[in-house]
Amino acid sequence: TAIQRLDYRAPTYWIATVDLTFDLDPAKTLITSKMAVKRNSAQAHGPLVLVGEELTLLRCLIDGEPVSFRQEGNDLVIDAPDRDFELTLRNTCAPEKNTALSGLYTSGGSFFTQCEAEGFRRITYFLDRPDVMAVYTVTLRADAAKYPVLLSNGNLLEQGTLDGGKHFAKWHDPFPKPSYLFAVVAGDLVAREQRITTRSGKDHLLQVYVRRGDLDKTEHAMNSLIASIVWDEKRFNLPLDLERFMVVGVSDFNMGAMENKGLNIFNTSALLCSPATATDADFQRVEAIVAHEYFHNWTGNRVTCRDWFQLSLKEGLTVFRDREFSMDMAGSASARAVQRIQQVRNLRAIQFPEDAGTMAHPVRPDSYVEINNFYTATVYEKGAEVVGLYQTLLGRDGFAKGMALYFERHDGQAVTCDDFAQAMADANPGSPLSSRLDAFKRWYSQPGTPHVAAQGEYDAEGHTYTLRLSQRNAKGPLPQVIPVRMGLVGPEGQALPLQLQGEIAARGTDTVLILEEAAQAFTFVNVMVPPVPSLLRGFSAPVLLEDGLSDPQLLTLLRFDADAFNRWEAGQRLSLKRLLRAARSGQPLQLDNAYVEAMRAVLRHADLDPAFKAEALKLPDAAYIAEQLEVVDPQAIHAAVEAAWDQLAAALRDDWAWAFDAHQVTGGYSPNAVDAGKRALANLALAMLVRGAVAQGDPVWPGRAYQRVKTASNMTERFGALAALVNAHAELAEPALVHFHALFADDALVIDKWFMLQARTPERGGAVFERAKKLLQHPDFTLKNPNRARSLLVQLCNMNPGAFHRSDAAGYVLWAEQVAAIDAINPQLAGRLARAMDRWSTLAEPYRTAAQEALKRLAERSTLSNDVREIVTKALGA
Ligand code: ARG
Ligand code: ZN
């Protein structure tokens, strides 16, 4: 029963206002709903069909009178009149039994909601679709001692005490919103508060609510929120539109966070941090997610999605916005480049495989069975890349104009990706976008990663350089509009002037070519020396580039390219070539001197930033390597990567030792990009030193790492040292893990890291898999908490191919068991784990057949959720 994008129809009725009353009780919560229902005269008259899941209906009245209705599956079909009316419903739900964490549920003794995408129907019967936008008034009644804090969207109208030790609070949200943005929180929480005045002179109250005891971990989130508010006003002229903006943390949560109007709810993993318990990467992530949810207030809430096929309208755009924010916060050009590198690494490791696999879908999907399965890297990250393409084509100012027109036209509406594209084009007449809008929109309709091939030809006599670009996409027949930012680098590293044949104006030393045909040639004139092309600078489009550059050419780019991203990319390509050669041939990898010296030069470079060096010295991810191969032997890739690390550890030993000593940060901890960069490089160096020492049987570096696990003053260094020991399979890994666990036994987020590290350790002889399997029995392990389940199972099955893909198929057997076990508790989480098999059909034997067997066995189960069923069915359809 797939839902099709083209089947969209506006509803027969709208809901203008809704008045909700909650009598909160964990076992049985009573909900009364009074709705002002309006006939949509654009549609023929028919029954009002509301949807509800796992609810008990107690009452259904129209204008106060009983009405005839029937329940068909999850539908409540009401014989409603052909006019406007008031509908009153009363129903119950069972929050403490709600382990799916969708709708109203309890966590740690408090109440929380998650309504996106379709959780509101688990609270009460409703037109639970994003184009139905209503004004909500919410009264919460609950035991005053157990639930002193009662929150919902918007402004607090009234609060007071009631008989029987109860109290109430009444909230009103003046902005019409779809049901997926509704939220309720009730519990024993405390808040960090801050009052701010925004540019317009308005005062606002900002609050971050957490459990008692976590207040000291909310400062960074509050600072990030304030910075986000300031940034959105400055960059896009988008102000905070509410008197009160609340953020709440909860430990049981399926995703990172949720942008409910005025009441954002966060996974504690995306909210809480302190130097002692969170790494630099965690600080970064919290800043980005706080910003992301805040930015949704405009891109998502003020202008929302007409239907769920348009999800990327808000998610791609909001990820783009949070990335721009994070880059501005990072400061220097080099720090921005490092962010871009991390984005691209992530895109290649997760989105590229998705786009090539059995769950491939366009940025705007055409059909789905379970919408929760489409909160994907394609919708989010590729969607953000597509938004970035507008900015590349229009420039920053043109993009800002497009945003302004988008809000001018659509504020308060539920719209489509087409509406966004149209606003961008209309705000920029005569731009490279407006003249090719239809072709550009293939980015929304075609799945698959375009492959771009480039070939250059230098004419030494005519002083011309001809660049031939071509594109193909195995999953999309039509050519796409691909902005290729590029430059030409001379043999001594000089940036060559770019003069295209037939053009009057020169283009400086950096330009954007637009590839829009299947094949195109661009000829540059007055090129006095044979150039090395530096293509796709800044990763200007989400494509796979095959430029066939030789090692000497890549070495030139690595040394000289003016574009930091492409400098990094050149290093990655040198590594990738070697890893692929070994993985293809099955021969042991042997790094050559030229490569090792290039890496040494990066590490020892006088001017490069430490953060950049750390990125440049890291090898490509196994998942990205696998995407370059027709047949994937995960163990061959694993062996190649491990051999490369071993050899880099040995060959650069003195350099790593220098790097470790030279990049110690003294003074107090600050998560700023400069200090974080030093720590990143020092941690990489330590990992290499411990690895090299373990291979040599030398106890010194493992001993130093162990000391650091005991004495480090911040989590970045402590966890870096622990990871160095564990990943190198050092003898001291075991006592270090024990020590670390004891230190943080009460801190769930740190214990998650402890599980994660062990589940993600590079495999050696099967020991990592065995350990992970044993950890399933650990007293701290539970499938009920998504963070904990993910930290062990998603890390092992989806992120650790060397441990997961075993010739005895034990990984697949465990996967099938655990998917089924989680599915009975939390289908959305099970769906995430189920994705581990997306790429089974490219596996080499014996993995391929064994993976298929496991998929089949899972598919045969009668009780699977829609979530898992859709993924498994699509996997087997391959
Ligand atoms: N809109 C949220 C965000 O991107 C994610 C919520 C996803 N919820 C879900 N049930 N899939 O910030
Ligand atoms: Zn989002």
Work out the burial of residue 806: count CB atoms within 10 Å of its CB; fewer than 13 is exposed, 13-18 middle, 19 or more buried.
buried
How far is the centre of ligand 1, averaged over its atoms, from the C-alpha of 255 (Å)? 6
User: Mutation test of ligand 1: which of 252, 375, 379 has the most ligand atoms closer than 8 Å to its C-beta?
Assistant: 375
Cα 842 vs. chain centroid, distance in angstroms? 25
Q: Are 531 and 556 in contact (CB under 8 A)?
A: no
Confidence (pLDDT) at 329: 96
Ligand 1 atom at shortest distance from the alpha carbon of 293: 12
| 257-258 and 263-267 beta bridge pairing | antiparallel
CA 744 – CA 727 distance, rounded (Å) = 20
Spell out the residues 6+ positions from residue 138 whose beta carbon is closer than 8 angstroms to its own: 19, 20, 21, 22, 152, 153, 170, 171, 172, 173, 184
* Ligand 1 binding pocket includes 867 (Cβ within 6 Å): no
Nearest protein Cα to ligand 1, atom 11? 372
Question: C-alpha distances in angstroms, 666 versus 131, 675, 676, 679, 716?
Answer: 54, 9, 12, 11, 14
* Ligand 1 binding pocket includes 257 (Cβ within 6 Å): yes
CA 104 – CA 100 distance, rounded (Å) = 10
How far is the centre of ligand 1, averaged over its atoms, from the C-alpha of 171 (Å)? 23
How far is the centre of ligand 2, averaged over its atoms, from the C-alpha of 100 (Å)? 20
Return the bridge partners of 139, or none. 21, 170
Ligand 1 atom at shortest distance from the alpha carbon of 300: 1
* Ligand 1 binding pocket includes 315 (Cβ within 6 Å): yes
Nearest protein Cα to ligand 1, atom 1? 258
Using a pLDDT cut of 90, give the percent of the chain over it.
100
Confidence (pLDDT) at 878: 59
How far is the centre of ligand 2, averaged over its atoms, from the C-alpha of 305 (Å)? 12
In single-letter form, the type of residue at position 481 comes to V
Terminal alpha carbon distance of the chain = 19
Query: What is the number of other CB atoms lying within 10 angstroms of the CB of residue 867?
Result: 23
Work out the burial of residue 266: count CB atoms within 10 Å of its CB; fewer than 13 is exposed, 13-18 middle, 19 or more buried.
buried
Nearest protein Cα to ligand 1, atom 2? 258
* Ligand 1 binding pocket includes 116 (Cβ within 6 Å): yes
Q: Are 150 and 168 in contact (CB under 8 A)?
A: yes
Weakly modelled stretches of the chain, pLDDT under 70 = 878
CA 521 – CA 527 distance, rounded (Å) = 16
User: Mutation test of ligand 1: which of 255, 298, 304, 314 has the most ligand atoms closer than 8 Å to its C-beta?
Assistant: 255
Beta strands, E only, 597-653: none
Looking at the annotation, which residues are catalytic? 293
In single-letter form, the type of residue at position 136 comes to Y
- Ligand closest to Cα of 260 equals 1
User: Mutation test of ligand 1: which of 53, 247, 252, 258 has the most ligand atoms closer than 8 Å to its C-beta?
Assistant: 258
Ligand 1 atom at shortest distance from the alpha carbon of 375: 11
* Ligand 1 binding pocket includes 485 (Cβ within 6 Å): no
Average pLDDT, the chain: 98
Question: C-alpha distances in angstroms, 306 versus 130, 266, 365, 377, 412?
Answer: 6, 25, 14, 21, 11
Q: For 687-738, what is each residue's pLDDT tens digit?
A: 999 999 999 999 999 999 999 999 999 999 999 999 999 999 999 999 999 9
3-state secondary structure (DSSP) of residue 501: coil
CA 360 – CA 373 distance, rounded (Å) = 11
* Ligand 1 binding pocket includes 292 (Cβ within 6 Å): yes
Query: What is the number of other CB atoms lying within 10 angstroms of the CB of residue 145?
Result: 10
Nearest protein Cα to ligand 1, atom 8? 116
